[in-house]
Structure 1
Amino acid sequence: MILQFIEDYPEDPRGNSCLVLGYLGPGRPLHAVCGMDPSGTLVIITVYFPEPPKWINERNRGKGD
């Protein structure tokens, strides 16, 4: 699986985190917000399907977001 970095959230109250894009299959994008705990372990904060109206497509936010 190829993962793509979409956004960085350096000011996240939970600590520095980022939005990663992956695919479950053709045409099935999936977003995961990830961070690192103090020991350097990857922490999955949330996972969701990017859907309108919040997302125009898997890489671009909709209006007002």
Structure 2
Amino acid sequence: MQAGRVIWRAHVLRRMIERGVGRSDVLGAVIAGDAIEDYPEDSPYPSALVLGFVEGRPLHVVLSFDESADDTYIITVYEPSLDKFELDFKTRRTP
């Protein structure tokens, strides 16, 4: 994550409440985590999917970057499902 502002979208704040995830959990997952997918063509800014662990709990965080303003937007956060991801929580299962 870049050193500029962190902007929390309304969507992610709703999802965090629903999923029992705090801001410190999200920031910890992003700072200690790894980008596992990049979406350079996303609009209006490139985005990425980050996998991080908070007290052993895997979290996926989708964020985007506005490099010109040095802003990071937190888009959504969820606990990855083993229905959709392998045991490493990085690799998507094939249908």
TM-score normalised by the chain length of structure 2: 0.58
Uncovered stretches (5+) of structure 1, i.e. residues with no partner: none
> What is the number of residues matched between the two proteins?
63
Uncovered stretches (5+) of structure 2, i.e. residues with no partner: 1-27
User: Higher helix fraction: Structure 1 or Structure 2?
Assistant: 2
Q: Which has the higher contact order (CA 8 A, sep 6+)?
A: 2
CA-to-aligned-CA distance 1:5-32 (integer Å, 9 cap, x gap): 1110012234210011111112x11000
Q: Which amino acid aligns with 1:18?
A: A
- Is 1:63 aligned to residue 94 of structure 2? yes
Aligned-residue CA RMSD (Å): 1.5
Once residues 43 and 54 of structure 1 are traced to their aligned partners in structure 2, the CA distance between those partners, rounded to angstroms, is 24
Give secondary structure in 1 for the equivalent of 2:69. Answer: coil
User: Higher strand fraction: Structure 1 or Structure 2?
Assistant: 1
Q: Specify the alignment match of 2:64 in structure 1.
A: 35
